Amino acid sequence: MSDFFAQLGLIVLFSTIGAIVAAKFRQPPVIGLILAGMLIGPTGLGWIEQSEVIADFAELGAVLLLFAIGIEFSLGKLLNYGVRPIAIALIKMGFVYLVSYELALALGMNSITALYIGAIMCITSTALMIKILEYKRLTHKEEVGVLIGSLIVEDLFAVFLLTFFSALSLNADVSTISVVYSISQAALILGIVYILLSKAMKPVSEMISKYQTENEATLSIALGLGIGLSAIAQYLNLSPAIGAFLAGSLAATLQSKDELEKQIWPFVLTFSSIFFLSIGLLVELNSVIENLGVIIVFTIAIIILNFIANGASMYLAGYNSKSAVFAGLAMLSIGEFSLLIAKQAQGTSIDMVGFTSILVLATVLVSSLTISHYSIVHEIVQRLVPESFKNAGRNTARKMVLTINTIEHSLEIIRSGYEAVKSLGLLIVIVTAAIIIGYLFKDNHFKILDQTIPLDYLLLAIAALIGLYVLAQVIIRIIKTISTISQKMKSYPGVFKEITIFFIIIGLAIITPLLLAIFNITTGLSELGTITISLILLAFFIFSGKSDDRLFSGKRY
C-alpha cells in the first residue's frame, strides 16, 4: 500500500512538473505529460511500475475526458454551421485514412496494423486544437467555428471507430460474426438507450429548475449518467469511454449545463492528466528505438497528409487559400481518441501506444510552432503550387460551394434529408436488435405447422421484412432529395452528379478497409487501395477540367 501512495505521489508530482514546463514554453500540457510518463516509466528511469490501480485511474481519466467532450458535442451546434463541416470532415478523414492505410501496407505491415494506423492518423483532437488556439490567441478567427463543427463530425466518427476496435480487440482473428455482433450491440446502445434517455432529459431538467436544486442535482444526474452508461458499455465489452461520451452529450441538454462544466472541470483536468501521463508510462522505449525508421516515416506522413487534407477540404468548402492554410496547421494534431484506439490494439506488428504517442507529440508540437506563422506558410504554399493545379482547385471549389449553398438554402432538402436520416436510424435499430436477440437465443427453436425453425432465423426474417419497408422509405426520400437538388441546379448540368460521385468515392475510401477486415479479406488490399486513390484523383481532375464562369466570381478563391 505504501508503494502505491509513493508511486501515486510521483505521478501527481511529475504531472504538475510536466504541465508547468509545457506551459512555460507555451505548449499544450499533453506534451509535458506524455514525456514525463516516458521518463519515469518502466522503460525509462523505472521509478513507476504500471499497476492495476494506476491503470484504473487512467481509465477514469479517459472516461472523464470523453464525458467533457460529449458535453461539447451538440447536433444542434453542428446544424448551425450548415453542411460545410460535414463536407470538410468527410473529405479530410477519407483521404488521410486511406493514404495512411496504404502506406502501412506498403511498408510491409499486416492489414490489422494498417487499420489501426489509418484510424489513429485521421482523427484530429478537438481538445488539443482548441488549447493550441487559446495559447496563440487565435480563437477569434472566423474559420474556428466551422473547424469546430467539422471536429464534431470527426468525434462522432471516432466513437464509431472506438466501438469497432473495441470489438476487434476481443477477437484477434477478426471473426466476422464476433465483430458484426459487437458492433450491433454498440449500434443498439447508440440508438435505443440514447433516444430513451434523451426523451427523459427535458422533464428532468425542468424538475430540477422547478425545485431550484440545480448544482447538487445536476452534478448527481450527470455522474449517474456517466457511471451508468460507462458500465453498460463495459458490460458489452466496449470501451467505457464510449458510454461516457454518450452520457456527456445527454448531460449537455440540461438547463444548467454551463454550471455543470465548471463543477466537473477540476476533476477532468486532474484525471485526464493522469491518463496522458499513464500513456507515457505504457510507451516501450526499446520498441520505439527498434521501429524508429517507420515512426519517422509516419511522423512526416501525418504532418503532410493532415496539412494537405485539412487545407484542401477547407478550400473546397468555399474558404480562401489563406484560411485553408490556417485550417491545415490548426488541425494537425491527433490526441485523445487516437490514444484510446491505440490502447485497444491487438495483433499489430508494432507497439501502437508508443507509435501513437510519438505522433501526438510531433503533431501537437508542429501545429503549436507553426500556427502563429500561417501567413508565411501561405506565401510559401502559393509559390510552390503550380498554376494549373490552382485553377483545377478553384473550379472544383466553386462546384462544391454551389452544391453546398443549394442544400443549405433549401428547407425542403434539409427536411427531406432529416426524415431520411431518422428512417435510416430506425432501420439500424431494428436490424441490430434482431441480430442481438437472435444471437442470444440462437439455440432456441420455434414450431410453425410442425416445422421447427431456429428462433434467430425467424427474428431475422421478421426484421428483414420490416427493414425492407423502412429501407424503401429511405430510398424514396433520398431520391426525392436528389431530384430536388438536381432541379435547383439545372442551370449547371452535370455539377451535382460530379460532386455526388466524388463523395461516394470518399465514402468508399473510408469504409472499404473496415469491411475488408470484418469479412477477413486479406488479398489484394494494396492494389484495391491504390485503385481507390487513383479514382479519387481521376474524379478530381475530370470534373475540374472545364471551368464554368457562371458558377461564382467571388474573390475568396
Domain boundary (385, 412, 447) is at 385
User: Is residue 293 in some structural domain?
Assistant: yes
Residue 374 sits in the same domain as residue 393: no
CA distance 147 to 327: 7
Q: Is 9 domain-assigned? A: no
Assigned domain for 496 exists? yes
Q: Does residue 422 share a domain with residue 352?
A: no
Q: How confident is the model over 250-270, as a mean pLDDT?
A: 75
pLDDT digits (tens, 9 = 90+) for 376-416: 999 999 999 888 778 877 877 887 777 777 766 665 566 66
Q: Are residues 336 and 439 in the same domain?
A: no
Angle, CA 330 vertex, CA 328 and CA 334 arms, to 5°? 95
| Contact present, 160 and 122 (Cβ < 8 Å) | no
pLDDT computed for residue 548 by the predictor: 47
Q: What grid cell was written down for 399?
A: 462546384
- pLDDT value at position 359? 93
For 273-326, the DSSP string reads HHHHHHHHHH--HHHHHHTHHHHHHHHHHHHHHHHHHHHHHHHHTT--HHHHHH
- Amino acid in position 77: K
Q: Helices marked H in 25-125 — which ranges?
A: 29-40, 52-72, 75-80, 84-106, 111-121
> Is the domain of 379 the same as that of 412?
no
Predicted pLDDT of residue 168: 67
> Is residue 557 domain-resident?
no
Q: Are residues 431 and 533 in the same domain?
A: yes
Residue ranges making up the domain that contains 241:
74-251+286-385
Residues 221, 251 contacting (CB under 8 angstroms): yes
| Residue 111 located in a structural domain | yes
**In the numeric block, which cell numbers belong to residue 487?**
432541379
- Residues 437, 369 share a domain: no
Other C-beta atoms closer than 10 Å to the C-beta of 159 total 23
461 and 372 share one domain: no
**Same domain, yes or no: 230 and 121:** yes
Based on the domain organization, do 218 and 126 belong to the same domain? yes
Q: Are 545 and 393 in contact (CB under 8 A)?
A: no
Mean pLDDT of the chain: 75
Instruction: Name the least confident of 102-106, 182-186, 360-364.
Output: 182-186
**123: phi then psi, degrees, rounded to nearest 5:** -110, 115
- Tell me the whole-structure pTM to 2 decimals: 0.76
Identify the CATH number of the domain in which residue 311 sits: 1.20.1530.20
Residue 48 is assigned to a structural domain of this protein:
no
Choose the final residue of a domain: 351, 385, 419: 385
C-alpha cell at 127: 481538445
**453 forms bridges with which residues in the sheet?**
446
CA 315/CA 323 separation, integer angstroms? 8
| 311 has pLDDT over 50 | yes
Tens digit of each residue's pLDDT (9 = 90 or more) over 104-161: 888 888 878 888 899 999 999 888 888 888 888 888 888 888 888 888 888 888 888 8
Cα gap 438→279, rounded to integer Å:
39
pLDDT of residue 308: 92
Distance of alpha carbon 277 from alpha carbon 79, whole angstroms: 36
Contact predicate 334/124, CB 8 Å: yes
pLDDT for 176 beyond 70: no
- Phi first, then psi, for residue 447 (nearest 5°) are -100, 130
448 and 346 co-located in one domain: no
pLDDT at 305: 93
Q: Give the pLDDT of residue 475.
A: 72
CB 88 within 8 A of CB 313: yes
How far apart, in whole angstroms, are the C-alpha atoms of residue 106 and residue 526?
Answer: 7
Q: Is residue 501 part of a domain?
A: yes
For residues 474 and 489, membership in a common domain is answered with yes
Is residue 194 one of the residues assigned to a domain? yes
Long-range contacts of 180-185, Cβ-Cβ distance < 8 Å, separation of 24 or more:
180/435, 180/518, 181/435, 181/436, 181/439, 182/236, 182/237, 182/238, 184/431, 184/432, 184/435, 184/436, 185/236, 185/238, 185/432, 185/436
Q: Which three cell numbers stand for residue 78?
A: 453542428
Query: What pLDDT is attached to residue 42?
Result: 81
pLDDT band at 288 (very low <50, low <70, confident <90, very high): confident
Q: Residue for cell digits 452544391? A: 403
Burial zone of 300 (CB within 10 Å; 0-12 exposed, 13-18 middle, 19+ buried): exposed
Domain tally for the chain? 2
Counting residues of the chain whose pLDDT is more than 70, the rounded percentage is 62
Last residue of a domain, one of 341, 358, 385: 385
Angle at 175 between CA 172 and CA 180, to 5 degrees: 115
Q: Which residue has the higher pLDDT, 374 or 235?
A: 374
The reply to whether 463 and 409 lie within a common domain is: yes
Range with the lowest mean pLDDT among 63-72, 85-94, 283-292, 484-493?
484-493
**What is residue 81's predicted lDDT score, i.e. its pLDDT?**
72
C-alpha cell at 405: 449553398
